[in-house]
Amino acid sequence: MFRKMVNLTGQFKHSKMTINLAILLSGRGSNFVALYSAVQRGDLQAKITLVASNSEDAIGLKTAREFGIPTAVFERKRFSQGSDYSDYMFKILAEHNVDAIALAGYLKKIPPVVVRHYRNRILNIHPALLPKFGGKGMYGINVHRAVIESGENETGVTIHFVNEEYDEGKIILQAKAPVYPEDTPEVLAARVLKVEHNTYWRGVQKYIDERNK
């Protein structure tokens, strides 16, 4: 898959292998916007071909529409059978030629059959240094509260593959952030979020570079 081009000075240069990326989100979608900005800057060699949510009300969906990106809603309750729900996901992902999926604050579990089909092609961002502070219930402000309560003096961000267990897939990239004694969970969350925005695209690009080898 890896292609090299010879430029005018005779040096080898990697050609840009762009992948089609779907973003799944449940809320405000600031990490989606950070990924979108990285694409716009040319730092992330991907095209965001779909933004999907489990909730029609997610602010991130509205933002995606403003950016002119196709959107979809994956709502389990619309389907009586789990298999119909996953078939619908497969259909929408295929319609948008999705090569890889980046979860960006997606609060629903991905059906195992979808995880299997997209094995090592679904990435997630977690606002702590996994394997610490991961697992069921460890999302949002709960993570930062737990970090403070445990007396840690550093925390951070983890970009990892998604497997069938919460927050247990292989780690792609981590970045650190300090924890100060006077931090509240909200203050810490804001500090970590800035690191998230500067890290997710690097993790996705690292994944793309590995794919292209």
Shortest distance, CB of residue 85 to ligand GRF, whole angstroms?
A: 22
Mask of contacts with ligand GRF, 173-212, x by CB under 6 A?
Answer: --------------------x--x----------------
**Residue for token pair 């394997």:** 131
Contacting ligand GRF within 102-161 (CB under 6 A): 104-105, 125-127
* Distance (Å, whole) CA 161 – CA 87: 22
Please report which helix (H) or strand (E) contains residue 173, including its range: strand 171-178
* Distance (Å, whole) CA 43 – CA 3: 18
Exposed / middle / buried, residue 180 (Cβ in 10 Å: 0-12, 13-18, 19+): exposed
Interface with ligand GRF (CB under 6 A), residue total 13
Residue of 19, 22, 23, 31 that binds ligand GRF (CB under 6 A): 31
Question: Does residue 62 belong to the site contacting ligand GRF (CB under 6 A)?
Answer: no
* Distance (Å, whole) CA 172 – CA 211: 12
Cβ closer to ligand GRF: 95 or 165? 165
Cβ closer to ligand GRF: 104 or 114? 104
CB nearest ligand GRF: which residue? 105
Cβ closer to ligand GRF: 30 or 163? 30
User: With helix as H, strand as E and coil as C, how does 143-160 read?
Assistant: HHHHHHHCCCCEEEEEEE
Residues interacting with ligand GRF, by CB under 6 A?
25, 27-31, 104-105, 125-127, 193, 196
